[in-house]
Amino acid sequence: MNIQYLDLIGMPVTDQKASLEFYTKMLGFEERVNMEHFEMEDKNVRWIELVPPGADTAIVLSTWEDSDSRGTLILVTTDIEADYAELQAKGLTLPPLDHQPWGISVLITDPDGNKMILQQNMDMSA
C-alpha cells in the first residue's frame, strides 16, 4: 500500500446552498473549491470543497451520493467549552457536553442528518 494521506471526504447533502451556509457560518469552514461540476436531473451540481482553517483534508458537499448514506466527521478542538458556547450563541441546539476519561465531546448534526463529533482530547502523556 502506498496511501499517503486522506484528501477528501464526501458528505451527502440535499441542499448544497444550505449546507454551505451551515459549514461556513456555523462551523467556520473555508471554501477551498466552489465550481460548476456537472448537470444532474436538469440542475447544475456544484463541486464544493470545504476545510477547517489550516486543515489539509476537505469535505465535499455531494448531492449525487445515495441519500440514505450519512457521513460522520470527528473535529478536534483545543477549547471545546468556548466552541460550544459560540455554537449555541449562533443558534445551534446542542446536547450537553459529554465528559469521558479521554476528553470532552459533543454531537453536532447538520441540516441533512450528517453527524460530527466535536471533541477536545485530554493530554494522556502527563
Q: What pLDDT is attached to residue 104? A: 93
What secondary structure letter does DSSP report for 22? I
Over the chain, what is the mean pLDDT?
84
Give this prediction's pTM.
0.74
pLDDT at 20 over 60: yes
H or E stretch including 19?
helix 16-21
Q: Is the dihedral of CA 97, 49, 11, 26 positive or negative?
A: positive
Q: What pLDDT is attached to residue 11? A: 87
- pLDDT tens readout for residues 32-76: 999 877 665 666 678 899 999 999 999 999 876 655 656 677 888
Q: What pLDDT is attached to residue 27? A: 95
Q: What pLDDT is attached to residue 102? A: 85
What are the structural domains of the chain? 8-121 (3.10.180.10)
Position of cell 460550544?
Answer: 84
Looking at the chain, the whole-number percentage of residues with pLDDT higher than 90 is: 44
